[in-house]
């Protein structure tokens, strides 16, 4: 099979998806449950949090860097759902800071229960950025390293909830269908011996892709999630999956404004509310979604590269490198995989 889908087939399939499928309104009740949505101060995260509150969640935690925006989101949810003032809480989370992620995860241990960690927060940039104090480029830090740092730190709480309340918590990561359109061009630097590791290549502005950086980060998410699910085993009491919300109106594309505007017209971009329905569906999906990629509210095929023999080898390499990075940030984090 080809490593990536032929462009004509890709665009035909996904334009048809955008034009012909509307995600259904979520109906699964969340009564008595606690859910965390990262990046929930705006966009898809905000609308997903609104759905959780509407569906009866006892606690909906908005995790965001901008606390002023988070408080406005809380007020908006309370106004539209008529939920009580104690339902929605705003917690500070900066995925550019490892210490902030660890502090957030430590706070999660104080919760009586945690039924879902919906990791929606992410960034898309055209230029190469490196945040002071972080070991990796901004999109790799935010979308991959910190996302899985938080996931692994919070897993024990999700597992504890499953065993204590005889329920099925979820760890859901919001990814993208754009993972179909990359094979990680930075791998060429490894073949040529320019860099010893893929992370080194991704963190070198001379060898890192620009417009392709976001799809690469999303492919890395898919690879990491599949290997995480495989490592934990199919009988792990927490449902682990990732979801593609489709092409939506959101602030994520602001760095690509002119191109994104044209794309939103051609692709019939979903509203943030409609796109958020896919997030809530994934966070409610059954065991059949364990370790899977969901799109259009059903288990879907991952990209050709992911399913190839080389893709499996890259998946294992990415897992080793990112886990080594996480061990350096939080020693003995691997014990949370038990």
> How far apart (Å, rounded) are the C-alpha atoms in residues 1 and 34?
43
Largest separation between any pair of C-alpha atoms in the chain: 59
Whether 290 and 240 have beta carbons less than 8 Å apart is answered as yes
- The Cα–Cα gap between 177 and 270 comes to 14
Alpha-carbon distances, residue 232 vs 184, 299, 334 (angstroms):
26, 20, 11
Of 33, 218, 290, 293, catalytic: 218
Does 125 participate in catalysis according to the annotation? no
Give the integer Cα–Cα distance in Å for 189 and 175: 25
Alpha helices in 38-96 (DSSP H): 43-54, 67-81
Distance CA 152, CA 146 (A): 10
Calpha distance 277→99 (Å, rounded): 32
Measured between alpha carbons, how far is residue 10 from residues 16, 220, 269, 297 in Å? 10, 19, 16, 19
Supply the DSSP symbol for 25. P
**Is 161 in contact with 176 (CB distance < 8 Å)?**
no
- Among 98, 157, 159, 214, which one carries the catalytic annotation? 214
Give the whole-angstrom CA distance, residue 245 versus residue 281: 10
Assess whether 309 carries a catalytic annotation: no
Residue holding tokens 């990359």?
182
CA 10 vs. chain centroid, Å, equals 22
Q: What are the angstrom distances between the C-alpha of 302 and each of 30, 140, 175, 177, 290?
A: 29, 20, 11, 8, 14
d(CA 163, CA 167): 7
Q: Which residues pair with 31 in a beta bridge?
A: 57
For the annotated catalytic residues, the residue numbers are: 214, 218
């Amino acid at each position: 099979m080809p490593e990536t889908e032929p462009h004509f087939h890709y665009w035909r399939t996904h334009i048809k998806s955008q034009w012909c499928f509307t995600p259904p309104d979520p109906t699964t009740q969340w009564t008595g449950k606690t859910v965390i949505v990262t990046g929930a101060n705006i966009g898809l995260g905000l609308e997903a949090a609104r759905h959780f509150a509407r569906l009866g969640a006892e606690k909906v935690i908005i995790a965001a860097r901008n606390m002023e925006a988070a408080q406005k989101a809380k007020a908006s949810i309370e106004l539209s759902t008529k939920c009580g003032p104690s339902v929605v809480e705003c917690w500070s989370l900066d995925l550019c800071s490892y210490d902030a992620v660890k502090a957030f995860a430590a706070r999660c241990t104080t919760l009586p229960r945690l039924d879902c960690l919906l990791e929606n927060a992410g960034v898309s940039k055209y230029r190469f950025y490196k945040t002071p104090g972080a070991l990796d480029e901004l999109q790799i830090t935010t979308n991959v390293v910190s996302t899985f740092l938080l996931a692994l730190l919070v897993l024990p709480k999700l597992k504890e909830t499953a065993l204590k309340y005889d329920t099925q918590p979820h760890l859901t990561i919001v990814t993208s269908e754009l993972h179909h359109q990359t094979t990680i061009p930075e791998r060429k630097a490894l073949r040529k011996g320019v860099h010893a590791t893929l992370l080194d290549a991704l963190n070198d502005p001379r060898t890192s892709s620009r417009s392709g950086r976001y799809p690469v980060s999303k492919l890395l998410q898919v690879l990491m999630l599949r290997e995480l699910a495989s490592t934990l085993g199919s009988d792990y009491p927490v449902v682990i999956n990732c979801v593609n919300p489709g092409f939506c109106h959101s602030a994520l594309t602001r760095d690509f404004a002119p191109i994104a505007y044209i794309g939103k017209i051609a692709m019939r971009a979903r509203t943030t509310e409609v796109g958020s329905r896919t997030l809530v569906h994934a966070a409610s999906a059954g065991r059949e979604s364990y370790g899977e990629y969901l799109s259009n509210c059903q288990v879907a095929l991952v990209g050709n590269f992911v399913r190839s023999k080389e893709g499996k080898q890259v998946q294992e390499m990415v897992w080793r490198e990112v886990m080594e990075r996480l061990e350096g940030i939080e020693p003995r984090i691997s014990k949370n995989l038990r």
